[in-house]
Amino acid sequence: MLIETVLRRGPYETKTCADGETAMLALEAEGPFDMLICDFMLPGISGLDLIERVRARGYGTLPILMISGHASQVRERAKLAGADVFLNKPFTLSQLRSAVATLVAAQSPVS
């Protein structure tokens, strides 16, 4: 909820899902979205599984930010699964804002 609150105070609209399955359904039914933020530890499928499903279903250019407190075990696996950026918990709000802004800017067309 903190991430949602921080991003809504910025220029971002958010969609929060309770688990990876719901996130996948939302992506397919309501997308496209500008980015996906997920934690490694999700109810049901893991964040890694979610990322792999997103990439396998053709959302190859969707920027993905993965968050975890288990950096030593997850960081490399997240990158291999298709995460673009990894934030280790605990992170600062400025680190979160910076990562999101960078990923969203990378998606924006150059004028």
The residue among 92, 42, 47, 95 whose CA lies nearest residue 74 is: 47
Residue 106 has pLDDT above 50, yes or no: yes
CB 46 within 8 A of CB 40: yes
pLDDT, one tens digit per residue, over 51-69 is: 999 999 988 889 999 999 9
Domains of the chain, each with CATH number or no CATH = 2-107 (3.40.50.2300)
> Which pTM value belongs to this model?
0.90
* Least-confidence region, from 17-21, 72-76, 104-108: 104-108
